Structure 1
Amino acid sequence: MGKKKLCVPKDGVGDATLQKNFDWVCGQGIDRSPIQPDVVYVGPATVRSRATFAMNSYHRRKGDIESACDFRSTAQTTTKDPSYGKCKYV
């Protein structure tokens, strides 16, 4: 069985674009409670970390299909786990 694929932003994608991706995904009804600013384990609450979590959550909710991890060519799937500290991607 292959490794789990996770959806992450491509290198070099700027914060403004990632914020747009985050806003769009949040409008799709994903659970944002783990990445709210008052949650201690979020770690560095950067636009990139929050967008990564949201984009991957959307990708997972859509059944891990490749097209659910495109975001206008600003994201890609990877088998490298972006988890850090207590923030675990599933």
Structure 2
Amino acid sequence: MIMIDPPAVERWERRWSHLASDESLDELHSFALGVGVPARGFDRDHYDVPSEWYEAMLAAGAEAVSSRELVTRLRRAGLRRPKAAPSEE
């Protein structure tokens, strides 16, 4: 299932949502391509989507979930890919 959390992350003078799949990255990439989300928006296990696209993602079939639910479902599916810890040098 494709899911999206509310636009809550502020960056680059915009608010952003996270678009993810709890099925597979193939499902996620296919959905993103189909709705015109640029490949540059992909970040390890999700796409960053600007707030003005939120309603369009819902209309295209994404399920609205909380940020916590999105991460929980990614972990449960084994798809969560956290940022690497900074190396100690």
TM above 0.5, yes or no, is no
- TM-score of the aligned structures, taking structure 1 as reference length: 0.36
Please identify which structure carries the higher strand content.
2
- TM-score of the aligned structures, taking structure 2 as reference length: 0.36
